[in-house]
Amino acid sequence: MTEAELRDKVGKIKWWHQIDLGNGIITPGPDKTIDRVKWLGLPADLSGKSVLDIGAWDGAFSFEAERRGASRVLAIDEFMWAGKGWASKEGFDFARRALDSKVEDLLLDVYDLRPEQVGTFDLVLFSGVLYHLTHPLLALERVASVCSGQLILSTHVDLIELRRPAIAFYPGREFNNDPSNWCGPNIPALEAMLQTVGFKVVKLFASSPLTPGFPTEEIYPGWATLHAWM
């Protein structure tokens, strides 16, 4: 495929992520994905590590984990890849071909995660998914079952003024006029839920607008990333 053909194809896909495909071509997704890598705190060297990317969508973080040396990367998604949202799996499939990537893919809901089906992983990425779920604690139980090392959880947060664990519930289109947005846990709730499902060490990595040196609130209002270890 020539560069002109590549650019033409990129322009016909509904992207969410910004993915560097090389030759100066970056997919035109509205998400500030390149900035968000900093928010995740993805280890610089993943040599020999297995990585699971839950809710992969266009696969930006899956491909980045592979670029950083991961020996196995599995990307899973259900909502977008099954066509329940405004986009599809087309971006992931195209980016994987363009990058000559070996990232694996599986159409799978987070609630259906089982170690006997997918195995366990040294690093699990769970970014931008939790607040879309009606059963966040159940989802974290399933995530914990396939994590043998570290979890990176990045999500929308709410009720940040409360010091005790609390979760805001968004019925209908209350949050951002989006019926797929269901809940906004605060940071104490995230910490408590992670400990409840078996993570022994839980640390807040970044939050907006509380962490100096990270993108401003205009970029990620009400957002937090936590790192946890089994």
Domains of the chain: 34-86+102-229 (3.40.50.150)
Amino acid (one-letter) located at 127? S
Helix 187-196 and helix 136-145, axial crossing angle in degrees, nearest 10: 50
The first and second tokens of residue 223, run together, are: 């957002």
Residue 36 is predicted with a pLDDT of 83
Under DSSP, the state recorded for 57 is T
pLDDT class for 161, splitting at 50, 70, 90?
confident
Q: How far is CA 69 from the centre of its chain?
A: 19
Residue length of the chain: 230
Q: How far is CA 105 from the centre of its chain?
A: 14
The pLDDT mean for the chain works out to 91
What tens digit of pLDDT does each residue of 120-137 get?
Answer: 999 999 999 999 999 999
Quick one: average pLDDT of 94-117? 96
Helices (H), the chain: 3-10, 33-40, 60-67, 90-98, 115-118, 136-145, 187-196
Quick one: average pLDDT of 187-193? 97
Question: DSSP letter string over 90-132?
Answer: HHHHHHHHHTT---EEEE--GGG--HHHH--EEEEEEES-GGG
Specify the pTM.
0.92
